[in-house]
Structure 1
Amino acid sequence: DRAVTQSMSRKGNCLDNAAMESFFGTLKAEYFHLNQFDSVEELKRGIDDYIHYYNHERIKLKLEGLSPVQYRTQALSA
């Protein structure tokens, strides 16, 4: 669909996946398990909406109470 190719450049390291594993755990806890879906398309739209929320609106204390986008924007403008 999006012509994504898996990287096979080196031996796998569990730390490489830590960020995505953390995100998927949060996605399941905050979105997937709290909703019911009538179709795969509804689920896909919901995941797209959640990813936008996660990056643009959901604040994180580790990021000084900012969303990831706000934090990166602040860092780039400094």
Structure 2
Amino acid sequence: MKRQSQPDKYADAKTAIETICHEHEGRYGYRRITAELRNQAVQLNHKTVQRLMK
């Protein structure tokens, strides 16, 4: 219950992932998106990116 009231700590990352996906028309997988995020100075583990993309 407590966790539901907390803000989402990956909200910014989710919007960045959505933007990258729409730019490349869904052709990028989690590896390429992770690389793009690192180019934009967003450090996320590849497993986290994969989980957020599900």
TM range (shorter): 0.3 to 0.5
Q: TM-score, normalised by structure 1?
A: 0.38
Q: TM-score, normalised by structure 2?
A: 0.47
Q: Which of 1 and 2 has higher RCO (CA within 8 Å, sep 6+)?
A: 2
The structure having more radius of gyration, on CA atoms, is 1
